Structure 1
Amino acid sequence: MTLRIAVTAEPIPSHVSALDYVISPALEQGHEVVLHAPTMFRHEAGRRGMGFRPAGTDWTCDPAVQRVASDIWREAGNGPFNRYVFGRLWPERAEAKARHLVAAWTRTRPDLVIAECSDPGAHLAARVMRLPLLAADNGLAPVLLDLWDTDVVPGLAALYKRHGQDVPALPPLLTPTPIPWFYGTQPPAIRGVQRTVAEHRRALPGNPARYPSSRPLVYVSLGTVTTALPGLRTIVESAYREITAALRGIDCDAIVSAGRLAHHLRDAGGPRIKIVEHVPQPALLRHADLFVTHGGRASLLDAVQASTPVLGMGVLADQPANVAAFTRRGLGRALELRTTRAEIADAVTAVLDTPRYTDAVRAAGSELSRLPPLDLNRALHEVNGAGAAR
């Protein structure tokens, strides 16, 4: 049966890519898929071949929001940053998103809503409209679960009350990863499903033959959010400079994807170090021998699917915990963001020279590939059955 599926995303640059594991199978199974998201994602919807309806605002692009959030991270650390973001910022923006979605879904009622786990406006709108709802884990679900009772529910309580709804509850979760990888205790109503990547992210531009050489290839990316927050930008730029300085002293080639910082780092490159704004990461990682990463969940899964070990330098939100989880599984090593070029060089050399890291990542890739494919008709049936049981 063909379904009308509404997918929602919040205004974080990489978040539509993080949802490809639900978008791609929905399109491949012939369903009608519409992305309801801020306008920054209109192009992302088009290149994936799905419909688009504006919903919510590009509030993460507000300089005042960026400044306050990054100041909290810099002055108080990641824990207070997470509590501020998920206990205050997200709830404050949820009502506008919910209002837009209720209006859209009143005109064209979807059969199923798949909302980012960190999209409380979509969760509320689906509840108000009595629509079947699944939450798509974008990597933030473990953080949300940790903060749910202490910060998230209190932050949303007044909004839910205004809409005549009971206490917020996280919907059933889909996650594109074996659950023990990122969850210490398995939450109720969570299901691991096969991870897919959009087609345009699986191909390298130009001739891929130029990447292999006699030297190992190190790929470096510290993510998109880290370069967008002004309070983080100088710290992250310094980290990129320490990384490139370390790589210049190692017999390797390197590609450094630095987003909006790329033009500031041109002087840090060289004959063996290429500085770029962006590359199709999943495709490039298939040619890389090491991935120096901020530890976003999608980036780590890209590395596993490419059999590329990681050197993680977690920055904010879920990233430090993600890097720690991968380190415990022997999939790479971890360093602090503010570390020296000598320490980075030692860690890079250690990972490149130790085959057990690559072996561990290959084994993890086999485990990841055994997750079941996502069947959207079955998922709808399960959600409806769970609702009837309640």
Structure 2
Amino acid sequence: MFQTRREKLVSRMQQHMDIAILVPGPNMHYFTGLHLKQSERLTFAVITANNDLYFILPQVELNKVDLSNGGVILSYSDEEGPTLAIQRLKKEMGTLQTIGVEFDTMRVHEQKSIEMLTYENLSDIGESIRELRMKKDLQELAYMRQAVQIVEESLAATLPTIQVGVTEMEVAAQLEYEMRRRGSEGTPFGTIVASGYRGALPHGRASTKKIEAGEFIVIDFGAIYKGYVADMTRTVALGDVSPTLQNIYSLVKQANEAAIEAIKPGTTAQSLDCIAREIIRDGGYGDYFTHRLGHGIGLSAHEEPYLMQRNSLVLEEGMAFTVEPGIYIQDVAGVRIEDNLIVTNNGYENLMTFSKELIIL
């Protein structure tokens, strides 16, 4: 699997780049299977135009590398530092014309280490990688389905614990506990539990606010399974809510469902955004839908494709993304409903089965 992915990357590199250097994160995971986070210890995966693979790796991470599909490790101890490993790589690579790097994730610390090599130019390889990662293979989809199962089961287990006087942080903690119990490797972003007036904050991370009767609660959270993300939002009510809030909920639900029904190969990202936005605008709340309709999901919580205005990207089979319209009224409330979708050969698959009818606790 990883060898095949690297072959696709190499086919894009051969005309323009001698090597690609990846730093810890989703791209390194995608092409090598090595799942690490950036730290003070320098770590690189190097893919050559001949599809040779090298790792510069601290000794403490050696047990995480699988070399069954080939590869060379240039390791170093904490006492040695990475300089000798970089010099060994320099000897292996010789004089290079162009090195491909990830402009959006590489740090100055890592770039300075690359400067020890002999080369003429640095070029951004990010666009090519984003294009490759947009279309998910069968193994990726299997992991994503499992991640979705984790979030749905965890939300179902958490909802009965939401009562008057419980804090948002307590709800978030329960959610994260339930996800861990079911195999989540962590959370891809800070769990959002935003009740009442705080629901108007699209990124309202859980706070010490106590939940009150008659409030909407926006719950936006995610799980990670084998590195792959599920990202789910549901808005629930604690007790009866006003007719105005019920109407807002109905509009968001309608916008979510209409955009999803339009998903198929050949549709553009911006057209889906327009469908949802028009429904909310016609309902009188156009100024209160303040973000894009959705974002890609996979090894990252946010990746290509982005469903938003002025994005003419044509959707293709295998692309995975969220659909999450919302309405946010300052100092009053917010509503968001989010599903995870896959483009199929003749339409879409909604990975989520959790009800979108208003749940009143």
Q: TM-score range by the shorter chain?
A: 0.3 to 0.5
TM-score by length of 2: 0.33
- Structure having the higher helix fraction is 1
Higher RCO (CA-CA < 8 Å; seq separation 6+)? 1
